[in-house]
Amino acid sequence: MSLFKKVAAVGVAAVMGLGLLAGCGQGIPGSKAVSTVNGEAISLGSLAFYTRYQQAEMSQWMTMMGSGSGMYDQEFDAESGMTYGDEMRNTALTELEDYTLVRQHAEEMGVALTDEDKAEIEQVADAYVTKNGDDVLKSVGASKADVINVLNLLKTQSLMLEPIAADVDTEVSEEEAAQTSVTLVTLRYNGTNGVTKEEAEAAAEEILDKLKAEKNPATADMEAIADSVMENAATSVFHFSTNDNSDSTLNAAVMEAIDGLGEGEIADKVIQGEDNECLYIVRVDSFNDPEATASKMESIANERKAANLEETVAAWREESTITRDEKVLAKLKVTDESSYVFAVEEPTESTAE
């Protein structure tokens, strides 16, 4: 494996985090056009650069989640024989085609990259070439021009979101966005923690009794109380929509126990989880958590903008001529063998003056 190094440039880094990649794979004809959008070519190198970074991001996420590798060779579609790696590559190309369409409409909406934007993109592209070894550059198959093109597309996409959404209704009422917040203590049993159901039940009852004995249970520190009784107890705060709790991720038994409780109230019994080996203690903290509600209002507005962008780009695709070269596309293979991950750049030693 070779190293693919993360590099940063203010502004562009927010569009796409670049870095050191450890990767192994075959070289590709990066200068060949893999798709043409209204006469504008997308090089295989641009697609490779975008796809390999997605691979590295996926690898990073899987490592954080404790998952193993080995997903790309698995069958995605039995009828076509397409693998998950094929699907990732094809989806990446669709995204680049969409970004190209967005850029083609940028001028009519008064959107253009500033000299500062272009300078930052140039800085990242230079760092990509200088910080990554020849083995990585050859393996990825992306030139400096390919990197510049991808970052240009991503930056333009981010700048176009607001103009495209100019007519979108982004007014969100507090009633629509109101968020209920609850504090939940979870005690697992019969698992790797070695806790039996009887031990968990005894601990849960003790935690609930201590909580009820507090001078003000509505504001009591549930985490501290739980930790004082059982080391393996987990305390978390959850939010869900007050007027439509279908977005709740809480166990069904917990949601049933919450029903009928008022603000600051605690379910009077330990809750046995539905279809799992967990016991719960729950308190309703608020039916209109200010911070969570404000965040949800912003989220709903952004979802509307994103949906509008998707609809707009879909309409542009209908009006456009997009031609893919499947033979060129097949040259880029996303497999378990051709893996890419972000590598940690070793810190440089500093010398005191």
The CATH number of the domain holding residue 221 is 3.10.50
Are 94 and 224 in a shared domain? no
Q: Is residue 26 part of a domain?
A: yes
- Residue 83 pLDDT grade (very low, low, confident, very high; cuts 50, 70, 90): very high
Between 3 and 334, the more confident residue is 334
pLDDT of 345 > 80? The answer is no
Q: What is the DSSP letter of 48?
A: H
Which one has a higher pLDDT value, 52 or 62? 52
Q: Name the least confident of 21-25, 66-70, 127-131, 190-194.
A: 21-25
Asked which of 168-172, 245-249, 258-262, 333-337 is least confident by mean pLDDT, the reply is: 333-337
The more confidently predicted of residues 63 and 89 is 89
pLDDT at 111: 96
Confidence (pLDDT) at 53: 84
Domain count, the chain: 2
Mean pLDDT value of segment 13-19:
39
Looking at the structure, do residues 140 and 109 belong to the same domain, yes or no? yes
Three-state DSSP at 162 gives helix
Tell me: do 16 and 164 sit in the same domain: yes
The residue that leads in pLDDT, 349 or 177, is 177
Please name the helix (run of DSSP H) or strand (run of DSSP E) that holds residue 143, with its range, or none.
none
Predicted pLDDT of residue 24: 54
- Within 10 angstroms of residue 301's Cβ, the number of other Cβ atoms is 17
Residue 351, amino acid: T
Q: Determine, yes or no, domain membership for 54.
A: yes
Task: Answer yes or no: are the C-beta atoms of 5 and 346 closer than 8 Å.
Answer: no
User: Is residue 297 in some structural domain?
Assistant: no
User: What confidence category does residue 79 fall into, taking pLDDT thresholds of 50, 70 and 90?
Assistant: confident
Residue 83 lies in a domain: yes
Confidence of residue 210 (pLDDT cuts 50, 70, 90): very high
Judge whether residue 81 has pLDDT over 60.
Answer: yes
Could you tell me if 164 and 183 lie in one domain?
Answer: no
- The whole-number pLDDT of residue 336 equals 84
SS3 255: helix
- 193 falls within a domain: yes
What is the DSSP-derived secondary structure letter of residue 275?
A: T
- Distance between CA 235 and CA 284 in Å, rounded? 14
For the cut 60, the answer to whether the pLDDT of residue 349 exceeds it is no
Could you tell me which of 50, 150, 135 has the C-alpha nearest to residue 91?
Answer: 50
What's the CA dihedral at 57, 60, 63, 64 to 10 degrees? -100
| pLDDT surpassing 70 at residue 18 | no
What pLDDT sits at residue 8?
35
Cβ neighbors of 4 (< 8 A, separation 6 or more) are: 19, 20, 21, 22, 23, 52, 56, 132, 136, 140, 340, 341, 342, 343
Indicate if 118 and 26 belong to the same structural domain: yes
Q: Are residues 113 and 64 in the same domain?
A: yes
Please report the pLDDT score of residue 58 as a whole number.
81
The token pair at 180 is: 């209920």
Answer yes or no: are the C-beta atoms of 341 and 59 closer than 8 Å. Answer: yes
What average pLDDT does range 295-306 have in this prediction?
94
Give me the pLDDT at residue 337, please: 81
Kindly state whether residue 129 falls inside one of the protein's structural domains: yes
Handedness of CA 74, 80, 85, 91 (dihedral sign): negative
C-alpha separations of 212 from 184, 186, 260, 317, 338 in Å: 15, 17, 18, 60, 57
**Whether residues 163 and 272 fall in one domain:** no
* Candidate from 2-11, 61-70, 188-197, 273-282 with smallest mean pLDDT: 2-11
- Residues 218 and 124 placed together within one structural domain of the fold: no
CA atoms within 13 A on the CB side of 283: 21
In a domain, 349, yes or no: no
Q: Domain check: are 153 and 238 in the same one?
A: no
Whether 285 shows a pLDDT value over 60: the answer reads yes
Same domain, 34 and 127: yes
28 located within any domain: yes
User: Which residues span the domain enclosing 130?
Assistant: 5-168+304-343
Residue 4 φ/ψ, nearest 5 degrees: -110, 110
Q: What per-residue confidence (pLDDT) applies to 127?
A: 83
Considering the domain architecture, whether residues 160 and 69 belong to the same structural domain is answered as yes
Same domain flag for 37 and 150: yes
